Amino acid sequence: MHLKLFAALALLSLAACAPAAPQPAPTAPAPVAAAPAAPVFEPLDIVSAKGPIHFRVEVAADEATREQGLMFRTHLDDDQGMLFDFHTAQQVSFWMKNTLIPLDMIFIRADGTIANVEANTEPYSETPIPSDGPVLGVLEIGGGLTQELGIKPGDKVIHRIFPR
């Protein structure tokens, strides 16, 4: 009997000295996706026959931002837009792929005059929309606003990228 008790105690003491079952390594908290940065707006004015029209615009001045543009946006306030800055005047062409809302595209020459306007562009369309000659920038605003506000070719755009 003592032998059985001794054997049982020996097994228990060995079990107590045995390494514990591997525990999972502590894990760092899962990274939290950063909220998209709030857009930075700059003032932009269009001088039309009806007088000055004021907008707040995001400036797309690098390739990645110009490529993304207003794709996947579900809303654009009437006083908001996006100004695409190409840094040098050039022939450009846009499309509406992955753009959920109709837009008016205003193609702007290097001197700030509007070259051409494409109103109410069709969401999701992959049809090219070209500028009428070299432009330094393109302003996208809500669809139908150019007609509503009387914006047309020859009007002047005032913004820091266009010389005065």
CATH for 132: 2.60.120.1140
Residue 13 falls within a domain, yes or no?
no
Model pTM greater than 0.85? no
pLDDT in tens, 101-116: 999 999 999 999 999 9
Q: Residue 153 sits in which domain range? A: 42-158
Which one is predicted more confidently, 25 or 7? 25
Domain-located, residue 6? no
Domain annotation covers residue 2: no
User: How far is the C-alpha of 9 from the C-alpha of 3, rounded, in Å?
Assistant: 10
Q: What is the mean pLDDT of the chain?
A: 86
Residue 7 in domain: no
Query: How far, CA to CA in Å, does 95 sit from each of 67, 70, 75, 116, 131?
Result: 11, 11, 18, 15, 12
76 and 142 Cβ atoms separated by less than 8 Å: yes
In a domain, 12, yes or no: no
Which two tokens mark 81?
Answer: 């837009």
- Say if 17 falls within a structural domain: no
What is the model's pLDDT at position 151?
98
Phi/psi for 52 (5° steps) reads -75, 145
Residue 37 lies in a domain: no
Which residues are 69's β-sheet partners?
A: none
Q: Where are the beta strands (DSSP E) in the chain?
A: 42-48, 51-60, 80-90, 93-94, 103-108, 114-118, 129-130, 135-142, 156-158
Is the separation of the CB atoms in 23 and 46 below 8 Å? no
Q: How far is Cα of residue 59 from the mean position of the Cα atoms in its chain?
A: 10
Is residue 155 predicted with pLDDT exceeding 60?
yes
Q: How many domains does the chain have?
A: 1
Given a contact cutoff of 8 angstroms between Cβ atoms, the answer to whether 82 and 49 are in contact is no
In a domain, 33, yes or no: no
